[in-house]
Structure 1
Amino acid sequence: MRRMKRIAVSVLICSLLIGTTGCRTAPGAPVKDLAVAGSTFAEPLYVKQLDAWYQKTQVKAVYGALSSSGALRALQDRTIDVGATDLLLEVEDQARLPASVLQIPTCLGAVAICVNLPGNPALRMDGPLVSAIFRGDVKTWNDARIAALNPLVKLPDTPVVVLHRADGSGTTDIFTTYLAAADQTWNDKVGAGQLVAWPAGVGVKGNAGMAAMVRQTTGAIGYIEYTFAVQSSLNCVALRNRSGAFVVPSIPSMQAAIPPDVTADLQGTLLNRPGATSYPIVSFTWLVFYRDQAYDGRSRERAVAIYDLVSWVLGDGQSLALPLQYGSLPESVRKAAIALLGQLSWQGHPVK
């Protein structure tokens, strides 16, 4: 099964690069293409940024929406220049790669919990309730546990249709990590990860697939990156945060989740942060690439092209985040990311 997934990833990347020179460029030759692939979490932003980069430089950076786990496989196979992931690589992930990588944060996103019910009622939930629903313990929308948090809402007896991701997903990892911390039953029975053994529900692929399935299924509940929820006009649940307030996802509620010490630790979690206006399921997302680019015959020019692209994403490219409902990086984080990018090298020497 793993071999088949690797083949599928390689086929997709190759199809993206038809008509380009691929990941190798002759020394001294100008770079005209870059392959970037992975997370669907920030797909709309990366597509927009890479198109803007092409208009500016005529370097065609193609984005392939795989998944966070797909990005890791493609990096392992060296079929892409840059991977996109919603998770910082764990020690075991790093060990599977042939060399050290850089992980550069690019924006803020939120995982929204969306429902499809007649009349789009404004619903409130907390972690234990969300856990019970996604474990399959809540069968209908007029269940007493939902009613207890929504006493003013007339709830239908519509069956609950649980939707979850079927692919290895960073969005899933963020969501299940939140649930594992918010509810001991979830932690004991399901746990957290990009792929978990879901107790109930129907699996779908990608954030776009989740949005479409929620939209077309009466009684559905699913978790999805906030931008996709906005684009599909989905009804987002207000979640009880650490301070006891019920908060819907938004740019301000994402920004409220940023701790003051995040500069010193880009790996710090943004889940369930304190503060009355803080949304509890917020995360950075990252671009990942090899620290030293002198591998597989790659030219220094290609390393410079990667540096220039990522530098622009951290600079002028940040202006594209807000219109697409992503949070731009806090200035302290942006500066730390630029400093980290300075470690990009070719044959052991800094690219710039």
Structure 2
Amino acid sequence: MSAVPAKPKLTIRLCEPRGFCAGVDRAIQIVVLALKKYGAPVYVRHEIVHNRFVVEGLKAMGAVFVEELADVPDDGQPVVFSAHGVPKSVPAEAQARELLYLDATCPLVSKVHKQAMLHVKRGRHVILVGHKGHPEVIGTMGQLPEGTVSLIESEADVEAFAPADPAALGFVTQTTLSVDDTSGIVAALQDKFPEMQAPSSDSICYATTNRQEAVKAAAQGADLFLIVGAPNSSNSKRLVEVATGAGALHGALVQGVDDIPWDMLGDGSVVAVSAGASAPEVLTSAVLDAFRARYDVTIDLVQTAEETEYFPVMRSLRDTPLAPADMAFVNGGA
């Protein structure tokens, strides 16, 4: 018998932390618990988090995703607001219609809402650093009275920005931005408006910062950096940018195994792997298994932080039991 040819060698630098954060865990758990407590359907306004695998899994359990509250019938079933947050008008409409609603807004997004409202309370015009059209940005701007907030997306926007009172400004940021890019925009704002007030604490969340730091540590010398995540996930797209900016030769955002660019790899290649905060671990595991099927893989763990954060669900759901399979899904498993 002829010898089985040896597999080509491949080194994988696996980032830690990666994948689900505490806010995503909480949001998914709220939908699953609501299904257990109230039965199907449970309506969800917009994607609960930006990941197709998660959304399809929740649909299979009985969740119904809608764009607006107008799409929710008056059938007594609950509606869940996504982790990205919603404008004040949304819960106000739900209350007017006497809908049962559960707000899954990430507590760190809610913190940004409070920071922005505090700026307004203190007579400041709010500068929101973020990406136009992102659900989190829409939700944050929707907390504030009309005319009290301006969106800044780039340093060019800073240059063009001419507020009515440059001495009465305060800023907050979207939680999922690139730390480095945001620091440049904030520095430009501070140079132009030295009296501008910062929020009481950093708006970019711990999970975004931790995942970006791990990517930076793994990037130098990597032939390819794969980020497992969805194309509409802001934090996942930022990780690709951070990877190539920190020295990876190529970066790619993949939703799963089918998106891996195999033609970029050869014997002895170095691949770094991380996952956005809304990407379940089961997808990353499938990517690693696909590499093991083709290559003789050595995995080097690149860990830069240990995350212990936990955000509890609302009291009305805390006593609802979950089956082991449900808990596995909530925690990023199949």
State the TM-score, normalizing by the size of structure 2: 0.30
Q: Higher RCO, 1 or 2 (CA under 8 Å, sep at least 6)? A: 2
State the TM-score, normalizing by the size of structure 1: 0.29
